[in-house]
Amino acid sequence: MSEKSESLIVYYSRTGTARQAAETLAASTGWGLAEIRDEKPRAGLYGDLRCVLDMLLHRTSAYRYEGPLPGDCAHVVVVAPVWLGRLAAPMRKFLLDHAPFSGSVSAVCVMASRGGFRAEDDIAFLTGKTPAPALVLKQRDVQSGAAAEQLAAFAAALRRGQTTPEAIVRPAWISPREA
């Protein structure tokens, strides 16, 4: 039986924001990056319309991927955008094609304003693993650099191997504590 390779960051990014988060994590952890790309570009108004229709009609999305197989990795970090409150269609199709995952899974979901937690649920359902740690970021915070501290803490937790949800300290607006 062959030994599993280390860890891998797999990302999909239509606009470049999830790519920015993935590259930040890769720089902090030293882990490899693997990109999922649309088979047909999603630029412009037609691309926007395809995104909306893929989500509303639950369509699968053709993609290209040339990285290591997630099943061959001990740990996979999924970095993906949120479309219409759910995991982006190309990432959803990729995870469906490569499930179930044998190693552990973490996730970073980048949202405009909502849906990050549903996207985490989608990742858990598709991979058969609860992502831990998991982080939800706002698109504007990634683009402005305001999410750098959260990404650094996430990367530090990954480097230490902290993959249990209680070991990760998340901002109060993400995980408010009950009194």
Does residue 48 belong to any structural domain of this protein? yes
Does residue 172 belong to any structural domain of this protein? no
Does residue 46 belong to any structural domain of this protein? yes
Question: Among the ranges 61-70, 138-147, 163-172, which has the highest mean pLDDT value?
Answer: 138-147
Does residue 77 belong to any structural domain of this protein? yes
Element (H, E) at 34: strand 32-38
Note the pLDDT of residue 151: 93
Does residue 136 belong to any structural domain of this protein? yes
Does residue 177 belong to any structural domain of this protein? no
pTM given for the model = 0.83
Does residue 176 belong to any structural domain of this protein? no
For 54: left if phi > 0, alpha if psi spans -120 to 50, otherwise beta; the answer is alpha
| Per-residue confidence band for 173, with pLDDT thresholds at 50, 70 and 90 | low
Which residue range forms the structural domain that includes residue 34? 5-167
- Alpha-carbon distances of 124 from 24, 28, 37, 128, rounded to whole Å: 23, 24, 21, 6
| Per-residue confidence band for 1, with pLDDT thresholds at 50, 70 and 90 | very low
Mean pLDDT of the chain: 85
Q: How far apart are CA 33 and CA 124, in angstroms?
A: 21
User: Which of 3-7, 44-48, 105-109 has the least mean pLDDT?
Assistant: 3-7
| Per-residue confidence band for 166, with pLDDT thresholds at 50, 70 and 90 | very low
Does residue 144 belong to any structural domain of this protein? yes
- Count structural domains, the chain: 1
Note the pLDDT of residue 178: 46
Query: Which has the higher per-residue pLDDT, 114 or 20?
Result: 20
Residues 22/33, Cβ–Cβ less than 8 Å: yes
| CATH number, position 10 | 3.40.50.360
